[in-house]
Amino acid sequence: MNYRPSQVSMSIPPFPPTVKWLMIVSVAIWFVGQVILEGFLKVPLTDIFALQPGQVLFDYSIWQLASYMFLHSQSQVTHIVFNMLMLWFMGAELETRWGSKSFLAFYIINGIGAAIIYVFGIALYSYFSGSQKGLLVPVVGASGSLFALMLAYGWLFGDRVIYFFMVFPMKARYFVMILGFIQISSLLTSGVVGGEVAHLAHLGGILSGIIYIFFWGLYKTRVQESKTKKKTNLRLIVNNEEQDSSKKRDPRYWN
Rounded distance between C-alpha atoms, residue 88 and residue 14, angstroms: 8
pLDDT value at residue 7: 43
The enclosing H or E element of 188 equals helix 172-190
Least confident of 33-47, 175-189, 196-210: 175-189
**Domains of the chain, CATH where assigned:** 17-232 (1.20.1540.10)
pLDDT value at residue 252: 44
The enclosing H or E element of 164 equals strand 161-164
Rounded distance between C-alpha atoms, residue 71 and residue 68, angstroms: 5
Rounded distance between C-alpha atoms, residue 150 and residue 155, angstroms: 8
pLDDT value at residue 8: 42
Residues 114-141: what's their mean pLDDT?
94
pLDDT value at residue 243: 52
pLDDT value at residue 234: 55
- The pTM score is 0.83
Least confident of 136-140, 171-175, 212-216: 171-175
pLDDT at residue 100 above 90?
yes
Asked if 46 contacts 64 with a C-beta cutoff of 8 angstroms, the reply is no
Residues 121-130: what's their mean pLDDT?
93
pLDDT value at residue 70: 97
pLDDT value at residue 242: 52
Closest listed residue to residue 87, CA positions, set 67, 65, 103: 103
The widest CA-to-CA distance across the chain, in whole angstroms, is 97
